[in-house]
Each structure stands twice: as C-alpha cells, then as structure tokens.
Amino acid sequence: MNNRIALAMALMGLSACALASSHREAPSITKTPKVDATDFYMFKSYESNRGDYVTILANYQPLQDAYGGPNYFALDPKALYEIHIDNNGDAQEDITFQFKFDQELKDLQVPVGGKNISVPLSNIGKITNDGSSAQNTAETYTVTMVKGDRRKGDRNVLGSFKKPFDNVGAKSIPNYQSYANSFVQNINFGSCGSGKVFVGQRQDPFAVNLGEVFDLVNIKIPATQLAPSGVNAEDQGLNTIGNKNVTTIALEVPQSCLVSSGETVIGGWTTASLPQATLLNPTPESNLTSASKVGGAWTQVSRLGMPLVNEVVIGLKDKDKFNASKPVNDGQFADYVTNPTLPTLIEVLFKDATDGAVVAPTNFPRTDLVNAFLLGVPGLNQPKNVKASEMLRLNTAIAAQAKDKQNRLGVIGGDTSGFPNGRRPGDDVVDIELRVAMGLLCTIDGVNTAVGCKASDAKAGTIGFTDGALQSPQQFGTTFPYLNTPVAGSPFNTASK
C-alpha cells in the first residue's frame, strides 16, 4: 500500500458514507430535530461502588450550537421519548422507560415607561439554582416505567424531576458543572431498588470527522498502515462536532431491575414518538405551545440502538421506514446486513489505489455482521433464545472495567466490557465498525468460527481503518452521567476562529 496520493483521490468518491452515528440520518427526521436520537449507550456502570448498576444514555437534538439562543434547546413537550429493554431475546420490549416533558413560561417582565413589558430572553440575570427567579422558562419531566408492551403494559409513574437550563454562558451560569450536577437525582424503581436520573445538555460525546466525510471523504490518512512513520492516523484531531452539544436522557438502573430469570443479556434501544396529526394554528395565543395542535395515536419517528446502522447500513429509501419500525420486524431489512454496500464501495474506491490490498469480504451472507448487529456475538452477548433484530446488547454478567483499564476498541481491542458488548462513551465505534464491516471478526481465531467466516474471506480484515477522530475513555468522566459539561455559549473561544 504505497500509493497514498492515489488512495486519497479514490476516497473522494465515497460520499454516501457519512459517519455521524445518527445525526440527521434520515430524510424525515431532519424536519423535527427535537426528536432526532443521535446516540445510544448502555453499559455496566464503572463509577466506584456502582458495579451492580447499568447506565443508559439516550442523546437527542444533534449539532446544537452553544450560542443557539434565545430559545436554546428544550425538548418537545408534545413528544414521547422512550428507552426500551428486551430481556428475553424475543425482539420485543419487556421494560420501557418513558420521558414526558413540560416547559413552563414564567413571562418575566420589566418596567418600561410605566408599563410592564414581557422580555424576549430566556433569562434576565444569573441562574444559580433550579428555582432561579431570573429564569424565564423552565423544564420538568415525568418518568414512567412500563412492563410489557409499551402502550398496553403495566404502568408505574416513578416521579417528576427538573431539568437544568442549557449552558448559556459564564455570566448567566458561572459554574455550570456544579449547577448541572445538582440535577442528578435519585429515582426509585420499586421493589428492585433505586438509581439515578438526569436529563440535560451535554457536550456531544460522539467523535467523527464529519466535515471531511461529507466533503467526498476527504481524509488524508484513512488507515493506520497509510500513515507516515511516527504519525498516529487514529488521532489527527479531526472531530468536527467536538464543539457541539446534545441533550442527554440518562438513567442508572439496578441490574436486577432489567434482567430476566436465567438470562444475563439485555437488549436496548431508544425511540421518540409524536402524535399522528399536527394542525398549524393561524392564531396562536401568547404562550409557548399553541402554534400547533396535535392529536391521534403516538407515531414513532426516531429509533436508535446500535450506532451507525441507519446511517451507513440501511439504504436511503428505507431510512424513514427503519426509524418507524420495531426490532421484531427487522427481517425486512436483513439484506442490508447480509449483503452490505459499504464494504463494496470501499473496495471499488480503495482496491486499485492500494495495489489490490483493500477488497471487500467474500462470505455471503455476512454471518459475521448478522452476529454483530442482529444476534449478538456467540459466547459474548447473544441471548439464549435470540430472535434476529437490531438493538444494542449487553451481557450484564461481564464486569465493568475502570476507566483507566478500558480499551477504546472494545472487544476487538481485548476489552469484553466494551462495544459491541454494550457501548460506553469512550468506545470508538466509527473505527470499530469500519474494521468489522471490512471483516475483522473473520481474522480473529476463535471468533471467526463462532460468527461463521474465516480469515481468507476478509483479505483486508486486518487493516486499521480510521476516520482520524479519536474516541477515548480518557475523554470522559468517572461518575454518572459520565458525559462532559456542555460547551458554553459565552465567552466565545477565539481559538475556533
């Protein structure tokens, strides 16, 4: 592989492979960013003395600019946000956590020429606590736990909680980390114990070289083998969304609340739903919610389990269909996994430029990908009675690794507590999935037999493909909710000019 210039030219054709986990990944969801799920994480808690808990993070509202006022990024009070758990492998939810939001308008006013006039801003002074008189809007949310079918099962309201205001800037909220931490609250799950809950803005934890990917994949060093001596191809400082924020729905749940008898593997995914009908109001009232009226049954518009599936696996024509679907019906999307397009595109673009070294795997159907994405890896995180379906699977019997012992490449890096056995914030899923798509599992002795392929099926399986945007456990915290304080709207960072 000595023709780096030719390879860079070839890369410019791969415009369809935009790796942004699930940021604006389907045509319809671009119209409703408040219900756009961006990333989903599920892992054994690695906070000290929390080893019997599972942390679940569902991120929404992609690509938030920190300075995005005056309305900032409230969640949709007309939407239903959900986290689903399948604990018996049948591809149907057994437990659902529902989050419903409400936004209060305090209608702060100031005297102007003898009249009290409503202000146009979301705050008019320093915000120091959850009841600040300077805050013009405030969000609260209710958490409900449903056992069985998400719409027909047994419901238990777990409580109502407050959500911190977004990180407007240092003058409005001088110590945002301390302020936000005060919104990490205890939540009681009933007979199986209590845990923690938090909903609020966080710095987007996903790392991806988004700009260069969209620019016809204009990446100078797309694999470790192509890097000049002494250059780390995996860490080229190319995380183009590092200065963006998201809104995180976070739960820490006792493991005993989630597993079923005789099964240690759980599957998880998040969805958002809207009422089926929306009617625009030509004469809205003086409030935050009357610009439209909604009605009808809940209609799922966003779905996310394993990262990058709807982004780079599902065909463009079926992306909206996937977002509206349930795992139990994933047989309709099987061809996208058994006969994936991404490796073929990579071969077309890379083969000549690498003297024939980069070729797509030849084992069809791709049973290695079926195991990784639809079944769980045998002996790692495959349920006993699994039905093929796309979701993030976690074997709760595998202990968490402390942050300093985690490997960013998860299982393929020798760390079985990481992706695809669940997903932690520091797991570099872009690099992992690029390599798995090109057949890495087929080259690992023992694993290849379990997933139904062999090394000769994947001649490029050992190439260290990368997007140059490093994702590392060291970038994140060691306590719930693990994700970093959101980027502040002020002061402006002149280094980004």
Question: What was the pLDDT predicted at 214?
Answer: 67
As a whole number of angstroms, the distance between CA 103 and CA 452 comes to 51
Contact by Cβ (8 Å): 411, 60? no
As a whole number of angstroms, the distance between CA 311 and CA 238 comes to 19
Q: Is 283 left (phi over 0), alpha (psi -120 to 50) or beta?
A: beta
Write out the chain's pLDDT in tens, 497 residues.
443 333 333 333 333 333 445 567 778 899 999 999 999 999 999 999 999 999 999 999 999 999 999 999 999 999 999 999 999 999 999 999 999 999 999 999 999 999 999 999 999 999 988 777 999 999 999 999 999 999 999 999 999 999 999 999 999 999 999 999 999 999 999 999 999 999 999 999 999 887 776 676 667 787 888 788 889 999 998 898 999 999 999 999 999 999 999 999 999 999 999 999 999 999 999 999 999 999 999 999 999 999 999 988 999 999 999 999 999 999 999 999 999 998 998 888 778 778 888 899 999 999 999 999 999 999 999 999 999 999 999 999 999 999 999 999 999 999 999 999 999 999 999 999 999 999 999 999 999 999 999 999 999 999 999 989 999 999 999 999 999 999 999 997 754 44
286 sits in which H/E element:
none
Question: What was the pLDDT predicted at 355?
Answer: 84
Place of tokens 């988004």: 210
In angstroms, what CA-CA distances link 79 with 64, 275, 280, 400?
Answer: 19, 7, 16, 34
CA angle (106, 109, 115) in 5-degree steps: 145
As a whole number of angstroms, the distance between CA 12 and CA 218 comes to 6
In angstroms, what CA-CA distances link 486 with 245, 247, 250?
Answer: 6, 9, 15
Listed residue (5, 83, 93, 72) closest to 39, CA to CA: 83
In angstroms, what CA-CA distances link 351 with 133, 180, 347, 355, 427?
Answer: 63, 50, 5, 6, 28
188 CB-near residues (< 8 Å, 6+ apart): 158, 159, 194
Q: What b/e readout covers 411-422, taking b as 16+ CB neighbours within 10 angstroms?
A: bbbebbbbbbbb
As a whole number of angstroms, the distance between CA 8 and CA 19 comes to 18
Question: What was the pLDDT predicted at 1?
Answer: 40
Question: What was the pLDDT predicted at 2?
Answer: 42
As a whole number of angstroms, the distance between CA 101 and CA 95 comes to 20
Contact by Cβ (8 Å): 485, 491? no
As a whole number of angstroms, the distance between CA 160 and CA 183 comes to 12
Contact by Cβ (8 Å): 455, 211? no
Contact by Cβ (8 Å): 90, 328? yes
Question: What was the pLDDT predicted at 10?
Answer: 31
Listed residue (175, 383, 421) closest to 261, CA to CA: 383
Joined together, the tokens standing for residue 245 give: 């924020």
